Amino acid sequence: EVQLLESGGGLVQPGGSLRLSCAASGFTFSSYAMSWVRQAPGKGLEWVSAISGSGGSTYYADSVKGRFTISRDNSKDTLYLQMNSLRGEDTAVYYCAKQIGDMVTHPFDFWGQGTLVTVSS
């Protein structure tokens, strides 16, 4: 059974940093691209970042480029999102999502339960 468990969310001040983790199980982690998708309170879904199975290719939404860094440790079956220079508009539930294959453009076939990031003073 595929499981994705996010952690690391919380309250942070504007300009602060946070690192999200997503522990994966139930599939061969290194064979699949992974993404982070966020949802601001009461709003729709926004793709944030994606990484290929090997970790060699990474992609970002313009809204987070230069501030967020996606990475993965295939020896630990874990996906990360390092978030720096956080802003109020980054407040959202952050989901990690497994993609159906190793291309970052593949659909998201499994999602974690999400972790809430609140940026506020």
Partner 1 sequence: DIQMTQSPSSLSASVGYRVTITCRASQSIYRYLNWYQQKPGKAPKLLIYTASTLHSGVPSRFSGTGSGTDFTLTISSLRPEDFATYYCQQSYSVPLTFGGGTKVEIK
Contact footprint for partner 1 (CB under 8 A) = 35, 37, 44-47, 50, 59, 61-62, 95, 100, 104-114
CB of 121 to partner 1, least distance (A): 27
For residues 117 and 10, the answer to whether their CB atoms sit within 8 Å is: yes
Collapsing DSSP states into helix, strand and coil, what is residue 119? strand
For residues 77 and 24, the answer to whether their CB atoms sit within 8 Å is: yes
Tokens of 56: 């060699």
Instruction: Please say which residue, 31 or 113, places its beta carbon nearer to partner 1.
Output: 113
Q: What are phi and psi of 88, to 5 degrees?
A: -55, -35
Instruction: Please say which residue, 73 or 109, places its beta carbon nearer to partner 1.
Output: 109
Instruction: Please say which residue, 28 or 113, places its beta carbon nearer to partner 1.
Output: 113
